[in-house]
């Protein structure tokens, strides 16, 4: 097959970018491939072109809704049959996608990893021929990777369950250890590992050691230079995003903040303005950039230290995708370490919380379901951490997942109830009448708890859910599900010793904590090095290059050494008294030492959010003090 002719016919390009042809030529005969390309190196073509050349459906798994929307829109503009399934689609749009899956007209389908836990969707997928499963951000399946996502762990088994004919795993940030784990999980041979190298010769890396009070001036100096925009300035905290954007505006720059605390429409307006060029500078948390495809970014500045070298490669790699010169700068200050370490320590659940979670799971019976949201709220553990804990229990061989389902729904009838019943068999009429008697009627909506309705009628929850869903499918009602739950089954012969299982779980979280702290200190080592910056950065990913000749070390502008820091925050007698005072109040959200430590270090949790404690005068009062010191003080009372 003439791949270059196919490339020109479908995408209008004359030549492949490095590595693309090597990946595609391996996929077409049926081999599975790991593609390890730098950010912006054209990974998406590696599955888009094969999708058009293979018989069957190409399923693309990505955690990035923005990327899915952009790629599907671009493919559809070329007349390519591509769709996406995500939480933003209406039920009518979802049904349209299902129809194109069923009739075989769909070539590319983009989904999130969470969608693949949906039993109904999986049943539809199993009726399709999956020619290619493309897994974007594949490093997320590694427990020891920098961005572990529990939903990714099931993808290798799912590839086999769906009968995927070939797999393409894609990532820009895998270390040799993580890459080996990806290959092993997906059954990819080492000779089908295609890696083009992390070196980006058009990027100039610089570290500017500076004390915290000097950073604003350094940033203004950087952005005031020629060809400094479009630019992304990365910060750690949402409030820093707002403050720095305001400072830049006062200094005469057109800059806007972007962070997860903004309204969706405000974030979208900033992103659209940046893409269009009307907003040249965005001051953002790491919520910005994933899936943003802008080729002409001239500078990426890390106002605060990045969390890991993997994060840094991904974030700085958004600069200069057009191949023209671009700058990547870190305003390096050791003061950032305390805040970043506190985030890591604050996410680790207490032994008591883990024991309570394990007890809840192991003592429920053979088959059970849980609401991750309710577990998060009742144990005061962030929901993502609850998901990780449950995944660890799966990895321990204790739990067998059964998939997600909704515990209830709300129904709004689109025509009178008697009109809905007209023409139905007598038994179905009677069932629906009795079913609606079990719901709670509002002005417009009927609310049903599937378990309560099932118990009242003496039928299964599935029968209740199916009857209510059918009303929406037939156009008689609008249905809004609520109460997401996940089904599990205890593995046969499982060790139900709560203490032992909780201890093993605590060990896993401790190891994860150590790994994240080590990754953070790798960033500090990069900022303090006297070696060529790209040389040291790329060595982390198992590659060797000659000194770049462009970074500040190669230019002789910096010789390495410890980063500047203000006087480290230390607990005073007044601070200890304040902790004692808050503990004596016995606030329901601050009963445990770890809860107090999170509160004083400014780390939100389900309980502090629910009780609106982020508005309390003392919230974050000790944000510049190491979390472990605050925790030790809280435990001493």
Radius of gyration of the chain (CA): 27
Domain boundary among 162, 179, 195: 195
Q: Measured on CA atoms in the order 171, 175, 178, 182, is the torsion positive or negative?
A: positive
Strand segments (E) across 56-200: 57-61, 82-85, 108-111, 130-135, 167-171, 193-195
Q: How far is CA 88 from CA 75, 269, 271, in A?
A: 19, 17, 18
Strand segments (E) across 102-179: 108-111, 130-135, 167-171
Say which residues have a Cβ less than 8 Å from residue 129's Cβ, sequence separation at least 6.
Answer: 55, 56, 57, 165
Whether 162 is covered by a domain: the verdict is yes
Domain boundary among 148, 168, 195: 195
- Using DSSP's 3-state secondary structure scheme, residue 218 falls into helix
Q: Of 193, 232, 155, nearest to 23 (Cα)?
A: 193
Decide if 449 contacts 408 (C-beta within 8 A). Answer: yes
Residues in the chain: 637
* Same domain as 82, residue 65: yes
Number of domains in the chain: 4
Decide if 357 contacts 381 (C-beta within 8 A). Answer: yes
pLDDT at residue number 197: 78
* Same domain as 22, residue 158: yes
Q: Measured on CA atoms in the order 161, 164, 165, 169, is the torsion positive or negative?
A: negative
Q: How far is CA 408 from CA 360, 405, 448, 464, in A?
A: 22, 9, 5, 9
pLDDT at residue number 568: 65
Domain boundary among 195, 217, 233: 195
Q: How far is CA 55 from CA 1, 49, 50, 107, 131, in A?
A: 15, 12, 9, 9, 7
Letter string b/e over residues 502-539, b meaning 16 or more CB atoms within 10 A of that residue's CB: bebbbebbeebeebbeebbebbbebbbbebbbbbbbbe
Query: Position of tokens 């929406």?
Result: 472
329 phi, psi to nearest 5 deg: -125, 140
* Same domain as 57, residue 154: yes
Strand segments (E) across 19-143: 33-36, 57-61, 82-85, 108-111, 130-135
* Same domain as 120, residue 178: yes
Splitting the chain (637 residues) into consecutive groups of 10 residues, what average pLDDT does each group show?
86 89 95 89 90 95 84 91 86 86 93 84 91 94 76 89 95 90 94 89 93 93 85 94 96 94 90 92 84 85 95 91 93 93 92 93 87 93 92 89 88 92 90 94 94 93 91 89 91 86 94 93 94 92 89 83 78 90 90 93 93 92 92 90
* Same domain as 158, residue 34: yes
Q: Of 300, 309, 296, nearest to 327 (Cα)?
A: 300
Whether 546 is covered by a domain: the verdict is no
Q: How far is CA 236 from CA 95, 307, 332, 562, 625, in A?
A: 40, 9, 13, 21, 17
pLDDT at residue number 291: 58
| Domain of 627, in residue numbers | 573-636
pLDDT at residue number 144: 67
* Same domain as 451, residue 368: yes
Letter string b/e over residues 380-395, b meaning 16 or more CB atoms within 10 A of that residue's CB: bbbeebbbbbbbbbbe
- Using DSSP's 3-state secondary structure scheme, residue 81 falls into coil
* Same domain as 93, residue 44: yes
CA 192 – CA 408 distance, rounded (Å):
46
Whether 503 is covered by a domain: the verdict is no
* Same domain as 621, residue 583: yes
- Using DSSP's 3-state secondary structure scheme, residue 83 falls into strand
Look up residue 12 and give its DSSP letter: -
* Same domain as 384, residue 318: no
* Same domain as 462, residue 356: yes
CA 604 – CA 611 distance, rounded (Å):
11
CB count within 10 Å of CB 407 equals 18
Three-state SS for 369-404 is: EECHHHHHHHHCCCHHHHHHHHHHHHHCCCEEEEEE
pLDDT at residue number 558: 78
Whether 517 is covered by a domain: the verdict is no
Q: Of 117, 78, 120, 85, nearest to 100 (Cα)?
A: 85
Q: How far is CA 471 from CA 190, 244, 477, 536, in A?
A: 52, 52, 6, 61
Considering only the C-alpha atoms of the chain, give the largest distance between any 2 of them, rounded to a whole number of Å: 87
Residue 612, burial from CB neighbour count under 10 angstroms (0-12, 13-18, 19+): exposed
Whether 497 is covered by a domain: the verdict is no
- The DSSP element (H or E) to which 514 belongs, if any, is helix 498-528
* The pair of three-digit structure tokens given for residue 257, joined into one six-digit string: 């903040």
Decide if 304 contacts 238 (C-beta within 8 A). Answer: no
Whether 252 is covered by a domain: the verdict is yes
- The DSSP element (H or E) to which 281 belongs, if any, is strand 281-284
Q: How far is CA 574 from CA 14, 505, 590, 601, in A?
A: 69, 36, 19, 16
CA 416 – CA 413 distance, rounded (Å):
7
Cis peptide before 261 (omega within 30 of 0): no
Domain of 222: which CATH number?
Answer: 3.40.50.300
Whether 510 is covered by a domain: the verdict is no
* Same domain as 286, residue 147: no
Residue 165, burial from CB neighbour count under 10 angstroms (0-12, 13-18, 19+): middle
Query: Position of tokens 């040291």?
Result: 536
Whether 505 is covered by a domain: the verdict is no
Q: Of 273, 295, 280, nearest to 233 (Cα)?
A: 280
* Same domain as 191, residue 208: no
């Amino acid at each position: 097959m003439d791949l270059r002719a196919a490339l020109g016919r479908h995408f209008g390009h004359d030549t492949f970018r490095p590595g693309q042809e090597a990946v595609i030529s391996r996929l077409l005969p049926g081999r599975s491939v790991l593609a390890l390309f730098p950010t912006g190196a054209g990974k998406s073509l590696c599955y888009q072109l094969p999708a058009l050349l293979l018989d069957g459906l190409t399923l693309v798994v990505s955690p990035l809704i923005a990327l899915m929307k952009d790629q599907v829109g671009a493919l559809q503009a070329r007349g390519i049959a591509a769709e996406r399934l995500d939480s933003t689609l209406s039920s009518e749009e979802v049904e349209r996608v299902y129809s194109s899956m069923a009739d075989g007209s769909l070539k590319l389908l983009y989904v999130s990893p969470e969608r693949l836990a949906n039993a109904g969707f999986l049943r539809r997928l199993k009726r399709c021929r999956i020619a290619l499963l493309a897994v974007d951000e594949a490093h997320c399946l590694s427990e020891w990777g920098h961005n572990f996502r529990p939903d990714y762990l099931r993808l290798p088994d799912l590839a086999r369950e769906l009968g995927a004919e070939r797999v393409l795993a894609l990532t820009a940030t895998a270390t040799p250890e993580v890459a080996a784990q990806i290959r092993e999980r997906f059954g990819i041979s080492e000779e089908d590992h295609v890696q083009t190298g992390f070196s980006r010769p058009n990027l100039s890396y610089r570290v500017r050691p500076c004390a915290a009070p000097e950073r604003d001036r350094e940033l203004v100096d950087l952005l005031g230079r020629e060809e400094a925009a479009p630019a992304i300035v990365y910060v750690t905290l949402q409030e820093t995003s707002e403050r720095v954007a305001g400072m830049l505006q006062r200094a005469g720059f057109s800059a806007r903040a972007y962070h997860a605390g903004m309204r969706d429409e405000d974030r979208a307006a900033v992103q659209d303005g940046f893409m269009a060029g009307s907003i040249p500078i965005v001051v953002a948390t790491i919520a910005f950039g994933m899936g943003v495809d802008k080729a002409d970014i001239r500078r990426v500045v890390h106002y605060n230290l990045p969390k890991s070298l993997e994060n840094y490669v991904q974030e700085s790699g958004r600069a200069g995708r057009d191949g023209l010169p671009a700058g990547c700068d870190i305003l390096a200050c050791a003061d950032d370490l305390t805040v970043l370490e506190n985030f890591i320590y604050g996410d680790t659940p207490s032994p008591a919380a883990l024991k309570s979670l394990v007890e809840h799971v192991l003592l429920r019976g053979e088959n059970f379901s849980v609401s991750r949201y309710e577990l998060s709220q009742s144990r005061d553990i962030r929901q993502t951490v609850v998901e990780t804990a449950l995944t660890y229990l799966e990895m321990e061989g204790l739990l067998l997942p059964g998939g997600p389902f909704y515990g209830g729904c709300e129904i709004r009838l689109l025509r009178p109830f008697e009109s809905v019943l007209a023409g139905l068999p007598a038994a179905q009429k009677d069932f629906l009448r009795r079913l609606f008697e079990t719901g709670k009627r509002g002005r417009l909506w009927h609310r049903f708890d599937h378990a309560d309705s099932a118990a009242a009628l003496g039928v299964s929850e599935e029968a209740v859910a199916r009857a209510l869903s059918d009303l929406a499918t037939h156009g008689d009602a609008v249905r809004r599900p609520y109460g997401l739950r996940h089904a599990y089954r205890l593995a046969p012969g499982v060790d139900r010793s709560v203490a032992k299982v909780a201890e093993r779980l605590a060990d896993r979280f401790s190891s994860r904590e150590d790994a994240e702290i080590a990754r953070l200190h790798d960033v500090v080592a990069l900022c303090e090095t006297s070696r060529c910056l790209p040389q040291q950065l790329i060595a982390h990913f198992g590659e060797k290059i000659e000194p770049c000749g462009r970074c500040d070390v190669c230019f002789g502008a910096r010789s390495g050494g410890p980063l500047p820091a203000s006087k480290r925050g230390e607990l005073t007698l007044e601070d200890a008294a304040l902790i004692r005072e808050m503990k004596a109040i016995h606030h329901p959200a601050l009963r445990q030492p770890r809860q107090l430590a999170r509160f004083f270090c400014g780390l939100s949790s389900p309980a502090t959010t629910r009780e609106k404690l982020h508005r309390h005068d003392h919230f974050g009062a000790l944000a510049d003090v190491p979390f472990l010191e605050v925790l030790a003080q809280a435990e001493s009372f």
